[in-house]
A and B are shown apart, each in its own frame.
Chain A
Amino acid sequence: MSATRHLQILALLLLLGGGAALQLRNMLVPATFGEIGTYRAAALGTNAAHPLTFPSDARCLKCHEDVQEERVESLHTVVRCVHCHGFGAEHITQATAVEVDSSVTIASAQDWDHHFPTKVDLFITYDRATCLACHQATVGMPDSFLQINVAEHLEDQGAEDVEDVNVCFECHTGHSPGL
């Protein structure tokens, strides 16, 4: 009986265990790992597959092309539809459904009113909050940006009802605000 018998068995166990571990590890390497870089290439697809929620103006203008004409020359050409009207996710879903089946009805803008400021659906359309979300004079804004101090502005312009939420639209339109 060799004096190193127990060590031989130990070495055998280590060898078997190590081999099994290596084999196991090689089997467990994810499918697309290392195909492009040192990562799972399929993760690129997973990241790219996330649904697009934020609607581009193009989607809106498919139906509301008249708006583009209104604002093309105005200071609001850079303003996107969603800035004032919200994501309109539900609205777009309804509009898309109409394209396929004309019997579907689209909820009118008024139905969405007072949801302001919901995150994914239409905002109220005629409310000074829509304008002031950007134009309310706030510390931090660059001087070049058109800032409104509402009280002063309304007084200067001789507005009749300074509490009226629709007051901005007596002089301005959202799509072509003018000055």
Chain B
Amino acid sequence: MVEPSDELKISKDRSECDGCDTQCACNATHDLSPPDTNLTTGPEISNDADRRNFLKQATTITLGALSLTVLPWSRDNDDGKNVGGGSATPIVYGFLVDTEKCIGAGKCLTACRVENDVPEGYSRTWVERYIHYKDGRVEVDRVPESGYHAAGLVDIDSELIDRSYFVPKLCNHCEDAPCNQVCPVHASFTSPEGVELIDTDSCIGCAYCVQACPYGVRFVNPNTNSADKCTWCYHRITQNEKPACVEACPVDARVFGRLDDPESELNRRLAKVPHHVLREHLGTHPKLHYIGLSGEVN
């Protein structure tokens, strides 16, 4: 249980952070420049946080009344949010996929599977191929993990095609993540860096998060019996390494970096061109951005 004084202490430590212990994992970021106040995501965060706090308090009171018990840490919850994603030193990681660059080689797929021990038959990331035929049909398939060439697939007659492109998919690490909202036991949570993580030692394996994710990136791992999904390679980024799929991309179609650092490659590339998120209408506020996203993609 965290006393209020401890909370303050944590916040303070955070603002003076010069590379603290691995648990808070801010060592990945202390070498980066202080946050700019003119961030695109800045005001949204505070508004969302307010709304979330209100909702959480409202629900807590309701539940508390029903359940003979008032959750003792519900207040810590709101303060806790501020430690990572709130006022003091917001660390906001983001991810960019440039569909205009992706060549569908599938290097990222093997990299992710090996790096994260993803069991066969499940995927933390995949690459879709959209083919717009001249007759108006739109066909979608998935890049084989060995790439089209090694898979021995016969290529499609390009005479029949208007345009075609690849769309890599992975966890969107939503600002308002439905998976976190529905997880009954706080096993789905947002790290102080804004990365959506899973506590595989608390997860009860109910799969509600699998249902709640609009992007289909979650699954119940048959080896751990816990929910599983892309973590943006949390174990790598906390050691100043890029996520495996980013490292594996031969054409820089995947970019990982800080959204709150205007000098980051991520922001420099986002600044130049229009970009979108997937299923914006669902209000999940993904931190995964797409360049060159066609309307067909969902």
Docked complex Cα distance between A39 and B191 (Å): 9
Residue of A nearest to B244 (CB): A54
Judged by a CB distance under 8 angstroms, whether B294 is at the interface is no
B84: contacting residue among A36, A56, A137, A138, CB under 8 A:
A36
Minimum C-beta distance from A31 to chain B (A): 11
List, in ascending order, chain B residues with CB within 8 A of A45's CB.
Answer: 22-23
List, in ascending order, chain A residues with CB within 8 A of B239's CB.
Answer: 48, 52
CB–CB A47/B235 < 8 A: yes
CB–CB A56/B129 < 8 A: no
CB–CB B110/A39 < 8 A: no
- Would A142 and B103 be within 8 Å (CB), given that A45-B23, A54-B111 are in contact? yes
Minimum C-beta distance from A113 to chain B (A): 15
CB–CB B199/A37 < 8 A: no
Docked complex Cα distance between A23 and B190 (Å): 28
> What is the number of residues of chain A that contact chain B, defined by CB distance less than 8 Å?
52
CB–CB A54/B114 < 8 A: yes
Docked complex Cα distance between A80 and B110 (Å): 14
Interface with B: A65-73, A100-108, A127-135, A165-173, which one? Answer: A127-135
> What is the number of residues of chain B that contact chain A, defined by CB distance less than 8 Å?
72
- Would A138 and B104 be within 8 Å (CB), given that A46-B200, A78-B251 are in contact? yes
Minimum C-beta distance from B45 to chain A (A): 15
Beta-carbon contacts of B105-137 to A below 8 Å, as 1s and 0s?
111001101111000000000000111000000
Docked complex Cα distance between A57 and B102 (Å): 21
Residue of A nearest to B128 (CB): A140
- Would A30 and B25 be within 8 Å (CB), given that A47-B231, A117-B146, A136-B148 are in contact? no
CB–CB A142/B101 < 8 A: yes
Q: Give 11 CB contacts A-B under 8 Å.
A: A30-B202, A36-B24, A40-B186, A40-B199, A47-B235, A48-B22, A52-B241, A53-B115, A82-B248, A117-B146, A134-B147
> Which B residues lie at the A interface, using CB under 8 A?
1-2, 10, 22-25, 68-69, 72-74, 76-77, 80-81, 83-84, 100-107, 110-111, 113-116, 129-131, 146-150, 155-156, 158, 161, 164-166, 186-187, 189-192, 197-202, 231, 234-236, 238-239, 241, 244, 247-248, 250-252
